[in-house]
Amino acid sequence: MTRFSTRAVHAGRDELRRLGVHAPPIDLSTTYPVTDLDAGTASFDALVGGQARADNPIYARLHNPTVARVEDALAALEGTGACVAFGSGMAALTAVLMARRAHGAHVLVVRPLYGTSDHLLASGLCGIEAEFVEAGEIASRRRADTTLVIVETPANPTLDLVDIRAAVAAAGEVPVLVDSTFATPVLQNPAALGARYVLHSATKFLGGHGDVIAGVVCCADEDARPLRTVRAATGGLLHPLAAYLLHRGLPTLALRVERAQKNAEVLAERLQAHPSVAKVFYPGLGTVRNAALHWTQMRGPGCLVAFELAHGHAAAASVMREVKLLTPAVSLGSVDTLIQHPAGLTHRVVGEADQLAHGITPGLLRLSVGIEHVDDLWADLSRALEAVPAGVHRDAAAA
């Protein structure tokens, strides 16, 4: 088998030579001519029934060749039989919940995880009952109607790690979904550890340039078929232009992750030594739950760093305001460095008590490290840390 960096360049491009092109074409058709009605009907039934391909795509909500190519590529990178692409990461998660609803209504969820995922699960919008548990409680909280176990590792935003093999063993016959967005297939392959579903917000590292919204679920074809049926019925198919951009980002995925990870390691160490920082959350420093897993189930500590300022929300707001090179914005995984405030932004939809219970404090900032020169990043970040007004420190100390 070819190595990862080679697969990232060539995956999903097998048919290009036959087509006589070098770059994957973008098929923007919304509908496809049906000259043979019986053959068209057979294709329609196959696609609505969850088949990956048919002789005729029929209608773009059912299938698109550009989307199919990037699905093939990501299945190859995750080592799964199939991949199903959606218009966003949340659409991908919703489709899994809808597909699993036929097998039960109870879902076990390990916190912390992305705030909107938490909100969707807690809301019951998909007709499921979410029970939030610690990873060590999975086996004892399983019920006859438990249909799915959900973990995110590394977790958003504290970068806690969950032992995937242990979670799969504890889940028994219940499928485990791993949100592996932060790790990417460069650093982690949950399917090889027993997970049935591997979810990515492909908006992040997989796209890598902040210009595409997408979500994917990598899994066996038997698990992909119900997802395709849900996607066809709900209209969640990824747009072909977004699929093209996503596919275009994959050849540089390993290079981007490796460079950003090196930068993150340096910034984490420098932040840990800074007097304004109370704690740094980074697997490479051993400061997150199950940090040693970054040497075993992962292939590195990753590109995200979270840090808690000693003087709370006002200090965090000041840093967000003062950075100039870093972009104060949500999302992650782009070539440029982003900084955001989880309690006020990505996790604001999570109740305050639940935030605090899982380390999401008013002074916590999350850094998605990019590929810039690390000394330029540190110059900007350290200047912003030094610019925190003296009054913030006095007020916090008095409180």
Q: Per the residue annotation, which of 7, 204, 289, 366 is the catalytic one?
A: 204
The sign of the dihedral angle between the CA atoms of 235, 149, 74, 47 is negative
Q: Return the H-helix or E-strand segment holding 219.
A: strand 215-219
262: annotated active-site residue: no
Record the tokens describing residue 219, joined without a space: 């899994």
Catalytic status, residue 204? yes
**Which residue is catalytic, options 7, 69, 100, 114?**
114
Of the candidates 74, 294, 85, which has an alpha carbon nearest to the alpha carbon of residue 185?
74
- E strands along 87-173, which residues? 106-110, 129-133, 146-152
Q: For residue 121, give the nearest of 100, 142, 93, 147 by alpha carbon.
A: 93
Where do we find the tokens 């995880």? 113
Supply φ then ψ for residue 111, to 5 degrees.
-90, 160
Residue 321 annotated to the active site: no
Q: Say how far apart CA 63 and CA 149 lie, in whole Å.
A: 29
Catalytic residue (choose from 27, 72, 118, 179): 179
Alpha-carbon distance 92 to 180, whole Å? 13
Please tell me the distance from the alpha carbon of residue 284 to that of residue 291, in angstroms, as a whole number.
Answer: 7
C-alpha distance from residue 398 to each of 85, 120, 386 (Å): 52, 39, 20
Q: Which H/E stretch holds residue 328?
A: strand 327-328
Rounded to whole angstroms, the Cα distance separating 162 from 180 reads: 11
What are the percentages of helix, strand and coil residues in the chain, rounded to 5? 45, 15, 40
Active-site hit among 59, 61, 165, 221? 61
Place of tokens 């807690």: 122
> Is-catalytic flag, 143?
no
Which are the catalytic amino acids? Answer: 61, 114, 179, 204
